[in-house]
Amino acid sequence: MLLHDRIPNHVGIIMDGNGRWAEMRGLPRIEGHRRGTERLREIIEAAMEIGVKTLTLYAFSLENWQRPQNEVRTLMRLLEAYLRKEFSEFMEKGIVFRTIGETWRLPENIQSLIRETEEKTSGNNGMTLVAALSYGGRNEIIRAVKKAILSGIKPDDITEDSFNSLLDTSGLPSLDLIIRTSGERRISNFLLWQGAYSEFYFTDTLWPDFTKEEFLIALRDYQMRERRFGALPAGSRT
Ligand code: IPE
Ligand code: IPE
Ligand code: MG
């Protein structure tokens, strides 16, 4: 059972392990990506049911552009098919769709599909679903610094709040929990600034095998943590 007063506002998921899932079965890596995409609906629905306000999914990193052209092309095709297929679900469920990252690097047709989905879902009032696409945490910070310089802001006016508003994640709640599948225990350039005080949950499960049950286990694990943010726990002796 989940504690209703400790539901994370914002969960990020590093959806990793598609390639290995396929390789283990003697299938092309691309098949793993296809199966991975099929996991999305269940996890998104679970997050909504639980009351997570923002779910950020790391779908394609800036570094992933280095993968073979064939794999990148397939990932783009899957993304396009996913957005086309899920649009009516987003509207039905009241999902607000947003992206973070250098989406201008994506193929033109996907960029316009993203813009359309963002615009049409912007008036919804359910969960915010953020897709990190062509995203890199360092790159996001550098772009924010460039925006700050171009705006002519005075150094004294650069605060954590004002800097937050220059990031792609501007306006989103602070990141409570990062889940990474596939056994890798690293951040791989995901939400570096936002993750300063996030809790981490790592699982060996590969993304195409990640179920609602395991998502709930991750959330229960999160609820057991004591988040201190550098201070002493409430009620501790001084
Ligand atoms: C995650 O799965 C999906 C993307 C990075 C696009 P991988 O493709 O990284 O799968 P592994 O890590 O090789 O198993
Ligand atoms: C991180 O996974 C990116 C996504 C899940 C989209 P990678 O598989 O690209 O990261 P590394 O190479 O293991 O660090
Ligand atoms: Mg990987």
- Taking the centre of ligand 3 as the mean of its atom positions, its distance from the CA of residue 13, in whole angstroms, is 13
Round to whole Å and give the CA distance between 122 and 124: 6
Q: Is 60 helix (H, G, I), strand (E, B) or coil?
A: strand
Known catalytic residue at 18 = no
Q: Is the pLDDT of residue 29 over 90?
A: yes
Question: Is the shortest distance between the CB of 16 and ligand 2 below 6 Å?
Answer: yes
Question: Is the shortest distance between the CB of 86 and ligand 2 below 6 Å?
Answer: no
CA distances from 223 to 5, 72, 214, 234 (A): 9, 37, 14, 16
Q: Among 116, 119, 39, 114, which residue's Cα sits nearest to residue 76?
A: 114
Please answer whether residues 62 and 137 qualify as being in contact, where contact means their C-beta atoms are separated by less than 8 angstroms. no
Give per-residue pLDDT as tens, 94-146: 999 999 999 999 999 999 999 999 999 999 999 999 999 999 999 999 999 99
Known catalytic residue at 64 = yes
CA distances from 180 to 37, 123, 136, 161 (A): 16, 30, 16, 27
Instruction: Measure the N-to-C terminal CA separation of the chain; round to a whole number of Å.
Output: 34
**pLDDT mean over 203-207:** 98
Give per-residue pLDDT as tens, 164-203: 999 999 999 999 999 999 999 999 999 999 999 999 999 9
Closest residue to atom 14 of ligand 2, CA basis: 188
Q: Where are the domains of the chain?
A: 4-136+174-223
Closest residue to atom 9 of ligand 2, CA basis: 64
For the chain, percent of residues with pLDDT exceeding 90 = 97
**What is the CATH class of 4-136+174-223?**
alpha beta
- Taking the centre of ligand 3 as the mean of its atom positions, its distance from the CA of residue 1, in whole angstroms, is 31
